[in-house]
Amino acid sequence: MGKRMLLQGNEAVVEGALAAGMRLFAGYPITPSTEIAEQAALKLPLYDGHFIQMEDEISSMAAVIGASAAGVKSMTATSGPGFSLKQENIGYACLAEIPCVIVDVQRSGPSTGLPTSPSQGDYMQARWGTHGDHPMIALSPSSVEETYQLTVRAFNLSEKYRTPVILLMDEIIGHLREGIELPEQVEVIDRPVYEDEICLQHPYHIPEGAFVPGMKAFGEGEFYNITGLIHDEEGFPTNSNEIAEKLVRRLLDKVEKNLKDIVTVENYRTEDAETLVVCFGGTARAVKDAVDSARKEGKKVGMFRPVTVWPFPDEQLLQAAQAAKRVLVVEHNDGQMLKEAERVIAGRCPVSFLGKVNGTVILPDEILKNLED
């Protein structure tokens, strides 16, 4: 039996991160994610880890990258304005293939917006916030227990695929308190390390059968170069168009060609659903309530929730919508996941939308009313 605890979603992030092996947190306090920094500051010293409050979100992301390159599993946490500031260095981590976890507890925007109110307005920014073609994995929990689980999974995916992973939360889940049971042990994946001479001399060389290079900790006796420029297998900048094509394609393919391992979803009462409600994160809690109420009225309604919100689960949505005569997308923004749902459904049935941008939560009754329209 594991340990039973009453935890806030933000607190569950820290518990999951520590279980996954996080030993450095660098951040800058910002509502509604501040509890993550507070808990990390309290608990990391107990695990021989380190907490650093940096001067801003830009340097926080830089510190996380540096610590990870030195072999320490690292995480940062923020919200909208801070997430914007981190984007340049997130792109650096994508190209340099530095594993790290970024938690974004979304709040209403734009700009400073409504700091204590829920939103899901960072959905597209999570995928396209940094410039250029780059891989991205983003996970979104809908409960405190799942927050713990997905934090562990975020670290494992980050290490396995040598890429930043975003835990895309919202204020609803960040500040929600639920009783959860922490497992005694979790699966922990560490970054690959290849000791053969070729890999040690060429830090970005891909051994046969692998899809990412090994990652020896910086400072452990091997010298190599890390850069945000297009680089060769030795890590040094190059203007070669051929190398650029090969590198960027590999970065994209290591995610796109492993969707079965990366993408997870929740299907709730979708087997015969004629109306399929698509949602993610904290919004799913109201949607489930509405689905259950609609079922009691004899309506065939189901919920499809991407747990992996990026890459978007195209194949899984199509499967869930096989019997659907209508798709309703519900999210706390002006229709960001809506665009992905419309792209995938591609006219097979009507796609409608229910959203809010005023900082209030979407209620089950509002969803039910929309189902009646």
Q: For residue 92, what are the CA distances in angstroms to 66, 164, 228, 229, 255?
A: 11, 10, 5, 9, 17
Taking 80 as the threshold, does the pLDDT of residue 355 lie above it? yes
Same domain, 29 and 126: yes
Q: At what angle do helices 364-372 and 283-296 cross, to 10 degrees?
A: 50
Taking 80 as the threshold, does the pLDDT of residue 103 lie above it? yes
Q: How far is Cα 110 from Cα 160, in angstroms, rounded to an integer?
A: 34
Taking 90 as the threshold, does the pLDDT of residue 208 lie above it? no
Based on the number of CB atoms within 10 Å of its own CB, is 318 exposed (0-12), middle (13-18) or buried (19 or more)?
middle
Give the number of C-alpha atoms closer than 13 A to the C-alpha of residue 250, restricted to the C-beta side.
22
pLDDT in tens, 76-97: 999 999 999 999 999 999 999 9
> So what's the pLDDT on residue 201?
83
What CATH number should be reported for the domain holding residue 329? 3.40.50.920
Judged by average pLDDT, the poorest of 61-65, 195-199, 281-285, 310-314 is 195-199
What is the band of 303 on the pLDDT scale with cuts at 50, 70, 90? very high
Taking 70 as the threshold, does the pLDDT of residue 117 lie above it? yes
pLDDT averaged over every residue in the chain: 96
Structure tokens at 43: 């608990």
Q: What is the arithmetic mean of pLDDT over 341-363?
A: 97
Q: Give the domain range for residue 298.
A: 264-372
Of 164, 182, 200, the position where a domain reaches its end is 182
What CATH number should be reported for the domain holding residue 98? 3.40.50.970
The domain tally of the chain equals 2
Taking 80 as the threshold, does the pLDDT of residue 340 lie above it? yes
Same domain, 143 and 279: no
Of 129, 156, 182, the position where a domain reaches its end is 182
Same domain, 49 and 178: yes
Alpha helical stretches, state H, 228-282: 241-256, 259-262
> So what's the pLDDT on residue 224?
83
Residue 356 lies in a domain: yes
Same domain, 178 and 280: no
Taking 90 as the threshold, does the pLDDT of residue 198 lie above it? no
> So what's the pLDDT on residue 141?
98
Taking 70 as the threshold, does the pLDDT of residue 1 lie above it? no
> So what's the pLDDT on residue 202?
86
Task: Supply the DSSP symbol for 121.
Answer: T
Q: What is the arithmetic mean of pLDDT over 156-162?
A: 98
pLDDT in tens, 223-261: 789 999 999 999 999 999 999 999 999 999 999 999 999
Based on the number of CB atoms within 10 Å of its own CB, is 242 exposed (0-12), middle (13-18) or buried (19 or more)?
exposed
Q: How far is Cα 303 from Cα 145, in angstroms, rounded to an integer?
A: 19
% the chain with pLDDT above 70: 99
Are the C-beta atoms of 311 and 128 separated by less than 8 Å? no
Same domain, 168 and 58: yes
> So what's the pLDDT on residue 194?
87
Same domain, 9 and 150: yes
Q: How far is Cα 161 from Cα 97, in angstroms, rounded to an integer?
A: 8
Of 149, 182, 215, the position where a domain reaches its end is 182
What is the band of 36 on the pLDDT scale with cuts at 50, 70, 90? very high
> So what's the pLDDT on residue 373?
66
Same domain, 175 and 283: no
> So what's the pLDDT on residue 195?
82
Same domain, 275 and 177: no
Taking 90 as the threshold, does the pLDDT of residue 157 lie above it? yes
Q: How far is Cα 353 from Cα 330, in angstroms, rounded to an integer?
A: 6
